[in-house]
Structure 1
Amino acid sequence: MQKFYSLLFFLLIFSISPAQNKFGNPEVDPLQIQKTYEQWSVYQNKKIMLSRDFTALDVASKEISKEVFLDQLANGNFIPIRLKSDEGVYYYKLYKIQPKTDTSIKATINQIGFDAYKNFKMEGTAFPQFSFKDLNGNLVTNESMKGKIIVIKCWYIHCTPCIREFPQVNKLVENYKDRKDIVFMSLAEDSPEQLKTFLARKPLSYSVIPDMKEYMNNALQLNSFPTHFIINKEGIISKVLPNFESLEVALAKESKL
């Protein structure tokens, strides 16, 4: 009888363990990372890339849709933690924010969750109609860009994060210079005169469209910068991204399709 109970206990543990460890363990202690805002901010900036493709898990490690996950971050009381996995594979799990956690952490998560949710909902929709003229007088429209992948950077000259990534996006243009089916253009809030003066000191390899504040506010409803769009060859928004790191990964994937 004792052997029977030992075997039963073993089978019970065996049946439970795989479900608990199916997606791996958190790469940081979910409680410890909430101790200070500085700790969380550093982790979030380096590890939490909500615009990328990932498997989303709720607090019980049950797989949920990305849309539900982002909605919980925007409106709930959760932090996202990445689970240990191979490089390039992303599992994010929700953990409860503790009662004594700095309220700045929750406010920041709600904001990035809101932005990521809004961006996610734009993916799969048609990019708004446009007829742009760049600083060199070239006209680009939805019709003229058919059959091309369009990479768009939205920015303005006083946006420090926007300018900081200039060397990286310039290198990206260089990497894809032989791809005639990929076009890089940027929408800037500023006037042609302001942009020409600024770009003489800080070159940008994208074509630059001036006076785009109203278009970005109304047609794209942007509230954070930089924002990057990847538009597929059918004119559909493939990805909306908040930084170069996510853009680089997404474009590599889109360019292979």
Structure 2
Amino acid sequence: MKKSIIIIITFLFFTFSFAQNKFGNPEVDPIQIQKTYADWSAYQSKKIMLSRDFIALDSNSKEISKKSFLDQLANGNYIPIQLKSDDAVYYYKLFKIQPKSDTSIKATINQIGFDALKNYKMEGTAFPLFSFKDLNGNLVTNESMKGKIIVIKCWYIHCTPCIREFPQVNKLTEEYKDRKDILFISLAEDSPEQLKAFLARKPLSYSVIPNMKEYMNEALQLNSFPTHFIINKEGMIAKVLPNFESLEVALAKESKL
């Protein structure tokens, strides 16, 4: 009888261990990375990109949907850690936030998860009705954008992170300048007069549409800036992204489809 129990326990142990390791081990120590907010924040910002395509795992290494993964980040008590992998697939796993961790870690990851889940739910939906003129008087509509990949940057003059990425997004437009099927448009809250004066000092190589605060608040329901959209050739939202780094990755993939 005792021998049977030992065999069962051994079997369960190895089954659990296999479940933990078949996707690879964490690339950082999940407990150690929570020792300080600064350590966790640096890791989160450099290594975790929730907008990208990844295999999502719960805290027991069970594969779950991306929606469920993001929901648990938004509403639960978890941080995501990337697992080591030899293939080109990204594996993110949920790990419990430690009781003695800085409370700012939970507050921050809940907000990051909330924003990522909101963005994810927009993917695959039609971009809201659109008919506006840019600073040069060109009319831009949903119909005129069909058949092209549209990259949209949402911003405003006094948004420091929005302005900080200008050199990067300008470089991106240069990289894709020979792709006539890719258009770069920006929606700005500010008036034409404010934008013309500002852009004379800090150029942006996107087409700029002014007075878009109401549209971004109501039609797009944005609460975070910058926000980037990639619209596919059918006029559907392919990706909603929080920064240039995630935009660069997503556009590289979309441009090859």
**Which of the five TM-score ranges fits, normalised by the shorter chain?**
over 0.9
Amino acid at match of 1:105: I
Residue 180, structure 1, aligned to residue 186, structure 2: no
Residue 29 of structure 1 corresponds to 29
Q: Aligned-pair distance for 1:66?
A: 0.2
Which 4+ runs in 1 deviate beyond 2 A? 7-20, 85-89
Q: Structure 2: which 5+ residue stretches go unaligned?
A: 1-6
In structure 1, give the amino acid aligned to 2:85: S
Which residue pairs with 2:221 in the alignment?
221
Q: Would the alpha carbon gap of residues 87 and 8 (structure 1) be closer, same or farther in structure 2, given more than 3 Å must change?
A: closer
1:143 aligns with 143
Q: Is the 8 A contact 2:54 2:91 kept in 1?
A: yes
Once residues 72 and 13 of structure 2 are traced to their aligned partners in structure 1, the CA distance between those partners, rounded to angstroms, is 31
Provide the C-alpha distance between the structure 1 equivalents of 2:45 and 2:86, rounded to a whole number of angstroms: 19
Moved more, 18-27 or 213-222: 18-27
Structure 1 residues 104 and 210, CA, compared in 2 at 3 Å: closer, same or farther?
Answer: same
Moved more, 21-30 or 86-95: 86-95
Contact 2:154 2:227 in 1 (8 A): yes
Following superposition, the deviation at residue 145 of structure 1 comes to 1.1
1:57 is aligned to 57
Structure 1 window deviating more from structure 2 (115-124 vs 34-43): it is: 34-43
Q: How many equivalent pairs are there? A: 251
Report the aligned-residue RMSD. Answer: 1.9
Amino acid at match of 2:98: Q
**1:29-52 C-alpha deviation (Å, 9 max, x unpaired):** 111111111111111111111011
Which whole-Å deviations, capped at 9, do the CAs of 1:44-90 have from their partners, x for residues lacking one? 11111101111110000000000000000000011111111248531
How many angstroms apart in 2 are the aligned matches of 1:196 and 1:87?
A: 47
Q: Secondary structure at the match of 2:147?
A: coil
Q: Which residue does 2:195 correspond to in 1?
A: 195
| Distance in 1 between residues matched to 2:34 and 2:133, nearest whole Å | 48
Shift in alpha-carbon separation, 1:39–1:16, aligned structure 2, 3 A: closer
Distance 1:243 1:193 in 2: 26
Evaluate the alpha carbon distance shift between residue 10 and residue 97 of structure 1 in structure 2; reply closer, same or farther with a 3 A threshold.
Answer: closer
- Opposite residue 122 of structure 1, the aligned amino acid is M
Superposition TM-score, scaled by structure 2 size: 0.93
Provide the residue aligned with 1:253 in structure 2. 253
- Give 1:247's aligned amino acid: L
Answer whether contact 2:30 2:81 (CA < 8 A) is retained.
yes
Greater Cα offset, 121-130 or 83-92: 83-92
Shift of residue 19, structure 1, vs aligned partner = 3.1
**1:41 lines up with 2:41 in the alignment:** yes
Equivalence for 1:3: none
SS of the counterpart of 2:42?
helix
Partner of 2:19: 19
- How far apart are 1:240 and its partner, in Å? 0.3
Residue identity opposite 1:195 in structure 2? L
Alpha-carbon distance, 1:8 to partner: 11
CA positional deviation for 1:20: 2.7
Counterpart Cα distance in 2 of 1:253 and 1:85: 20
Deviation (angstroms), 1:118: 0.2
Q: CA deviation at 1:99?
A: 1.2
* Distance in 2 (alpha carbons) for counterparts of 1:89 and 1:67: 18
Query: What are the superposed Cα offsets for residues 172-231 of structure 1, whole Å, 9 maximum, x if unpaired?
Result: 111111111111000001111111111111110000000100000000000001100000
- Partner Cα distance (1:199, 1:127) in 2: 27
Question: Which deviations, in whole Å up to 9, do the C-alpha atoms of 1:80-113 show, x marking residues without a partner?
Answer: 1111124853111101111111111100000000
Note the alpha carbon deviations across 1:130-152, whole angstroms, 9 max, x for none: 00100011001011111111000
The structure-2 alpha-carbon separation of the partners of 1:112 and 1:8, relative to structure 1 and needing over 3 Å to count, comes to: closer
Contact 2:19–2:60 under 8 Å retained in 1: no
Q: TM-score, normalised by structure 1?
A: 0.93
Contact kept? 2:19, 2:62, Cα under 8 Å: no
